[in-house]
Amino acid sequence: MKPVQLVKILAVSMVLTAVMLMGWIALVYAVNTYTAIAITAEEVLNLILVGFVAVIGLPILHAATYRWFWHIRRKQAAGEFLFGEEMPGFGSEPTQPPPRIKWRARQIAVYALLYLVGMSSLIAAYAPLGHQEVLTSFLWRFSAGRASFSSLVQLVIVFLPMALCFACLVPLFEADRKRLAAGGLSEQEVLGIRGRQEWLSSFATAFVMAGFLAFIAGNMILAHL
């Protein structure tokens, strides 16, 4: 990464941090002063962080994973490594932009709906600090210590949602495989199918990553504030 890019990232991070801190203080004051709702600073901070992860973090993670998945597909197509071999770590190699695909209006509508459902579900699941408390208590109840707690977090927050997401995608991908095997498709049609597969796979991955980040945010608030 070039020094100029690093400086820009640091500057944007500092500005976002300052805005979030001021928004946190202002929201706590406004809600407790001008409404009948009693809300703690911890609850507001969790709401802000989870909202940030859901609304801003999810699209960023999705764009990054979509680009990376296309990078892996290109390397496989070039024969640089075979299916089943160990893949390079996420973000460990420079990547080229994904191919430009002209999505149909129906696809765009479906993708927009998926984003709406994904963001809403993240906020509904993790934004209330009480939900975080219940989930953390449940995980600690079935953990023998910190190490087993971390393993259980990975199972419940990462692997289980990932398995459910991809279980929903398997029938669609199998239909795509049969359609590709039948042949008779133009290059644009093949590219469209590949693009849809990468879009959905990367969205599912980004959704799980965002859920994990939202959980970590709430867990840190509960543990240290």
Dmax (CA) of the chain: 66
Q: Where are the domains of the chain?
A: 1-39, 56-224
Average pLDDT over residues 39-49: 92
Q: Can you give the pLDDT at residue 184? A: 82
CB atoms within 10 A of CB 50: 28
Percent of the chain at pLDDT > 90 equals 53
| Chain mean pLDDT for the chain | 89
Q: Can you give the pLDDT at residue 113? A: 96
Tens of pLDDT, residue by residue over 133-192, are 999 999 999 888 888 888 999 999 999 999 999 999 999 999 988 988 888 888 888 889
DSSP code of 85? S
Burial of residue 45 (CB within 10 Å: 0-12, 13-18, 19+) is buried
> How far apart are the C-alpha atoms of 2 and 81, rounded to whole Å?
29
CB atoms within 10 A of CB 191: 15
The angle, 0 to 180 degrees and rounded to 10, between the axes of the packed helices 187-224 and 160-182 is 180
Tens of pLDDT, residue by residue over 74-110, are 888 777 776 667 777 887 788 889 999 988 999 999 9
